[in-house]
Amino acid sequence: MNKPNILMITPYLPYHSQAGGQTRSYYLLKHLAKRNNITLICFTRDKTGLSELKKICKKVILIKRGKTWDFKKVIYTALSPYPFLVTNYLSSELKLAIKTELENGNYHLIHTECFYLMPNIPKTNIPIILVDQTIEYAVYQHFVESIAGWKQIIKPFLWIDVFKLKFWEVFYWKNTHTVAAVSKDDKKLMSSMAKRQDIRLVPNGVAQRYFNPKKNVFKTKHPSILFGISNMKWMQNREGAELLITNLWPKIKQKIPQAKLYVIGRNAPQTFQKYINDDIVIKEAENDGQTYDPQYFYQSCWILLAPIKSGGGSRTKFFEAMASRLPIVTTRQGMEGINIKNNLHAIVCPYSKLIDKSISLLKNRQLQDTIGKNASILVKKEYSWAKSARKLNKIYKQIISK
């Protein structure tokens, strides 16, 4: 039997990076392409990893994405029913590329990552599977709720945008042929909001190489806390790192004076440069395989501390840390989407307890080793990209066979 023809549409160019969405799509593509002919349309500013994708996919089409903050987009958002996030991903060129492929490609299925690309897809009888990597409206709602000081003056305008975002996100959950979530919590919320019980689950995973330690990389001699490895343009990561640096770290440092904090990730220096000192290391990780790549920091630090206050999706950096035997301390919202047993695979606690739990773990090397080992066993068993791809491919088959 010939391989099915799949048109996949992504809001970025997939590759293994410090951004969870790009990493997810890259590894799923690697596995899915073995059983499907995949044409990939990417709405992107970046060409990093393009040569690798061309080896995987039948065809790769890049549509250049413009600047995020554009006066025309702001005006269009104000005058249209769409929120700013959707406006940012509206593109006549993208619409034309999708339309052309659908007319000429003999596709069996359309796979779209993230709902905000959906308005670019023309009306079609080809079934669409929408995979929402997080609950976007909930993330933006938390952001608006947390605004304080003089910035509160713009809250009414931002609330309007959140309401529009929620409307369209739920609209596509209700009206797309098949919808998939990446965590059980997201699936439950999406089912409730969309009033449908057929939401599918395709979890995130981890690359096999994180289970194989880099040679000549050892734990730091000083107690070390890692926040990362993250894309600091994403508001959840920015908020978490800011909370760690300004609220949690000073009290931890007071109790453990020799400790150091590592905030590593894309755009970390630009975002948090003012905090850099002898005890706070803020930098970008190097590319995979180089000396100071993400795996180096997962292996060399003592614990990963992530004060996450809003949920949605699941965090690729947690899977990578767990595979690397780095114990995690985080909140319930941070650990969403990962089926752990508390105090066995990770330490999950209210935000108010993060400081005490982190200090206690930093002082107990044996507990660090135990939690790290248990976490690695769990993700190796339950959260591989190959396993996630098999679930997604099964959904493909079920849709196409109808």
Query: Could you read off the pLDDT of 196-251 as tens digits, one per residue?
Result: 999 999 999 998 889 999 999 999 999 999 997 888 887 888 999 999 999 999 99
Average pLDDT, the chain: 93
DSSP state of 220: -
Range of lowest pLDDT (122-126, 142-146, 157-161, 324-328)? 142-146
Instruction: Give percent of the chain above pLDDT 90.
Output: 77
- Asked if residue 1 has pLDDT above 60, the reply is no
Least confident among 11-20, 79-88, 360-369: 11-20
> For the residues of 278-334, what is the DSSP string, one character each?
TTEEEEPPPPTTSTTSHHHHHHH-SEEEE---S--S--HHHHHHHHTT--EEE-TTT
The superfamily (CATH) of domain 208-382 is Glycogen Phosphorylase B; (3.40.50.2000)
Weakest-pLDDT range from 100-114, 254-268, 312-326: 312-326
Question: Mean of the pLDDT values across residues 152-176?
Answer: 96
- pTM, two decimals, is 0.90
pLDDT in tens, 322-353: 999 999 999 998 898 889 999 999 999 999 99
Q: Is residue 313 scored above 70 in pLDDT?
A: no
Residue 98 binned pLDDT confidence (cut-offs 50, 70, 90): very high
pLDDT (tens digit, 9 = 90+) per residue, 37-57? 999 999 998 888 899 999 999
With respect to CATH, is domain 5-205+385-401 assigned 3.40.50.2000?
yes
Go through the chain and tell me how many residues it has: 402
Q: 5-205+385-401 and 208-382: same fold?
A: yes
Q: Which residues pair with 353 in a beta bridge?
A: none
Tell me the mean pLDDT in the region 181-191.
93
- Rounded to 5 degrees, φ, ψ at 220 are -60, 150
Q: How far apart are CA 4 and CA 35, in angstroms?
A: 8
153 by Cβ neighbours in 10 Å (0-12 / 13-18 / 19+) ranks as: exposed
DSSP state of 245: I
What residue spans define the domains of the chain? 5-205+385-401, 208-382
Q: What is the pLDDT of residue 309?
A: 84
Quick one: pLDDT band at residue 89, thresholds 50, 70, 90?
very high
Q: d(Cα 228, Cα 388) in Å, to the nearest integer? A: 23
Position 100 pLDDT exceeds 80: yes
- Please check the confidence at residue 357 and state whether its pLDDT lies above 80: yes
The CA angle 213-216-220, to the nearest 5 degrees, is 90
The CA distances from residue 305 to 72, 228, 258, 349, in Å, are 40, 9, 17, 11
The confidence score (pLDDT) of residue 274 equals: 95
Amino acid 179: pLDDT = 98
